[in-house]
């Protein structure tokens, strides 16, 4: 995940502000995360989801983030009012994008 995020930052050309990465199940429940959240520890011992702030990136920045995330291999993207969710979860449907509520 760290390598993918570093590559994403490099390709976007601006800093990425991670607002959420790994969450233990109690914290995940407290923030309204779904039961099988990619933010939680996966069976292989790694989490696969991350949220990135979209504050101050503008429309062109949002486009670059999504375009580059897809090229780097993130295969699930959530679009929220204040952040983008990227993950590489292989237990859930692949190559999907959704709009969620913050």
Query: What is the CATH classification number for the domain harbouring 54?
Result: 3.30.1380.10
pLDDT at 43 over 60: no
Name the domain count of the chain: 1
Question: How much is the mean pLDDT over the chain?
Answer: 87
CA of residue 44 relative to chain centroid, distance: 19
pLDDT at 26: 86
pLDDT at 20 over 90: no
pLDDT at 54: 95
Which residue segment(s) compose the domain that 25 sits in?
A: 2-99
pLDDT digits (tens, 9 = 90+) for 58-100: 999 999 999 999 999 999 999 999 999 999 877 777 899 989 8
Q: What is the dihedral of CA 68, 72, 75, 80, to 10 degrees?
A: -40
């Amino acid at each position: 995940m760290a390598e993918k995020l570093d590559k994403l930052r490099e390709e976007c050309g601006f800093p990425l502000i991670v607002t959420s990465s790994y969450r233990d199940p109690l914290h995940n429940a407290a923030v309204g995360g779904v039961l099988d959240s990619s933010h939680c520890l996966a069976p292989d011992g790694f989490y696969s989801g991350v949220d990135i702030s979209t504050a101050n990136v503008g429309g062109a920045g949002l486009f670059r983030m999504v375009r580059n995330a897809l090229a780097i291999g993130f295969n699930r993207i959530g679009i929220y009012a204040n952040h983008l969710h990227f993950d590489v979860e292989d237990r859930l449907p692949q190559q999907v994008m959704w709009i969620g509520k913050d």
